[in-house]
Copies of this chain bind each other. A is one copy, B any other.
Amino acid sequence: METTRVSLEKKVLSENDRIAANLREEFHQRGILCLNFISSPGSGKTSLLECTLAGFHPATRVGVLTGDIQTDNDARRLARYGFPVQQITTAGCCHLDARMIEKSLKLWNLDELDLLLIENVGNLVCPASYNLGEHAKVVVLSVTEGEDKPLKYPATFHKARAVILNKIDLLPYVPFNLDLARQNIRAMNPDAAIIETSCTATKGLSDWREWLENAQAEVRSPVAV
Partner-B contacts on A (CB < 8 A): 1, 4-5, 8, 11-12, 15, 40-43, 68-71, 73, 92, 94, 121-126, 142, 144-146, 148-149, 151-155, 167, 169-170, 173-175, 200
For the complex, what is the distance from the CA of A188 to the CA of B170, rounded to whole Å?
29
Output the least CB separation between A141 and chain B (Å).
8
Residues of B within 8 A of A94 (CB): 94, 123, 125-126
Chain B residues with Cβ below 8 Å from A144 are: 42, 142, 144, 167, 170
Q: How many copies altogether?
A: 2
On whether A73 and B169 interact (CB within 8 A), knowing A12-B5, A42-B146, the answer reads no
Which residue on B lies nearest to A174, using beta carbons? B170
A43 to B149, CA, bound (A): 11
Give chain B nearest CB distance to A213 CB in angstroms: 29
CA A169 to CA B169, docked complex, whole Å: 15
A11 to B126, CA, bound (A): 20
> Which of chain B's residues have a CB closer than 8 A to the CB of A142?
42, 144
A70-B15 contact given A8-B5, A40-B41, A94-B126, CB 8 Å threshold: no
Residues on B with C-beta less than 8 A from A123 are 94, 123-126
In the complex, A94 Cα to B130 Cα: how many Å?
A: 14
A174, B155: Cα distance in complex, Å: 30
Give the docked Cα–Cα distance between A169 and B122 (Å).
24
